[in-house]
Amino acid sequence: MINWHNNDEKSKNLVSLGTETSNNLPFVAAPLPPANMKNSAGMSVDYRDFIHPEDEIAMQRLRAMPGLQTVTKKFMEIGYESLLHGTFMATKIRLSPTQLPEIYNHLPPICRKFGIAEPEFYLEMGRPNAYTYGDKRTFLVITSGLLSHIKNDDELIAVLAHECGHILCRHVLYKTMASFIANAAVIGGILGGIGGTLLGPIKLALSYWSRRSELSADRAELVYLGDSAPVLGVLARLSGGPAWITGNINFEELAAQAQGYLDLQTNSKWHKLLQSWSVMYDSHPLSAVRIHEIMKWEESEEYQRLRALLSWKESVLNKEVDRPCAHCGHTIETQHRFCHHCGEAQ
């Protein structure tokens, strides 16, 4: 999900970005990519190339919790996923190539590059928000408030790539469960003390993992766009307000502010304890942490190698560079359609 300052105790929404201020969308219609656009599983992004290590470790711990994955899947199978589908169809606008295509048409290219099935895509009225639910059937929702806050198409694409990153990283099942548990005050009331005792540790574990999962989804934005400016731009909107206010934000100063926050915790165990306590049940890390993490990763050798690999894959896909023969392995020059060694067509 795309929240930057989220407190699940105070909001029924999984993510919250601010308040809606404008109905003027800063977008132009995006052309729908051709249905036969070339792509293959071999050319799509692999989540293991960019997943944040803390996300991976926390996810392994969740899967090791006895019965949690089984119970979560059963929870979806017995009707919660169908309930979401029906509710979304009844209360939101489903986007498509013929329904608000200037918004919808940004989604299919991301799904193709990430090698994921396209989720049902909905628009709802409300404050800035974006989230993804589901398991076998996935749902991606954005709000009118979100569209009124961001600056341009690149920032919308960043949000969509973030949500698709959750799908690619296989976060969505546990994200759905985390949201349900976080908003299960009624269930807790019905079950009384026993319910709180049972749900409390699970909620704590899910919240801990959820904050780390957002760091992977932030990386997915950067992987897709190849530029951190839209990622940081969305963070700025969510921290300070819509683009007409924050459009000229100084990213270097914002990064220095984020570093100052982290230094507070490094220099004082008391500050670190206070900050850890303040986000204990939050599903998302604080903005300063996200800004620091994405800028640090953009400068890393790991990211630079990944960018080079993806550029090479795209060049091969478009046949812009020499490639190995699929039959004998010998090099085939860019302009040739047949292997000069074995004679097989490529």
Query: pLDDT by residue (tens digit) across 234-266?
Result: 999 988 999 999 999 998 898 888 888 888 888
pTM: 0.77
Mean pLDDT on 57-77: 84
**Which residue(s) pair with 10 in the sheet?**
none
Average pLDDT of every residue of the chain? 80
Res 57: pLDDT? 95
Sequence-ordered list of residues with C-beta below 8 angstroms from that of 326, at least 6 positions apart, any chain: 344, 346
pLDDT band for position 4 (cuts 50, 70, 90): very low
| Dihedral, 31, 36, 37, 39 alpha carbons, nearest 10 | 150
Q: What token pair was written down for 4?
A: 């930057």
* Tens-place pLDDT, residues 266-307: 888 888 888 888 788 788 888 888 999 999 999 999 999 999
pLDDT number for residue 22: 38
3-7 CB contacts, 8 Å cutoff, 24+ apart:
3/129, 3/214, 3/238, 3/283, 3/284, 4/235, 4/238, 4/239, 4/284, 4/286, 4/287, 4/290, 5/238, 5/239, 5/284, 5/286, 5/287, 6/282, 6/283, 6/284, 7/281, 7/282
pLDDT tens, residue by residue, 214-236: 999 999 999 999 999 999 999 99
Strands across the sheet containing 138-143: 93-94, 120-124, 138-143, 130-134
With contact defined as beta carbons under 8 Å apart, do 147 and 141 qualify?
no
How high is the pLDDT of residue 336?
Answer: 65
The residue that leads in pLDDT, 188 or 336, is 336
Q: Tell which wins on pLDDT, 145 or 314.
A: 145
Share of the chain above pLDDT 90, in %: 44
Mean pLDDT of 51-75: 86
Q: Are 96 and 118 in contact (CB under 8 A)?
A: no
Contact indicator for 117, 150 with CB cutoff of 8 Å = no
Fold of 41-247: Zincin-like (3.30.2010)
pLDDT band at 21 (very low <50, low <70, confident <90, very high): very low
**Torsion (CA) 249, 255, 261, 266 in degrees, nearest 10:** 180
End-to-end CA distance of the chain: 41
Per-domain residue ranges of the chain: 41-247
Least confident segment among 126-130, 312-316, 322-326: 322-326
Query: Exposure of 137 by Cβ count < 10 A (0-12 exposed, 13-18 middle, 19+ buried)?
Result: middle
Least confident range of 151-160, 278-287, 309-318: 309-318
Report the Cα 138 to chain-centroid distance in Å.
Answer: 13
Per the model's pLDDT, the better-predicted residue between 251 and 325 turns out to be 251
Residue 151: pLDDT over 90: yes
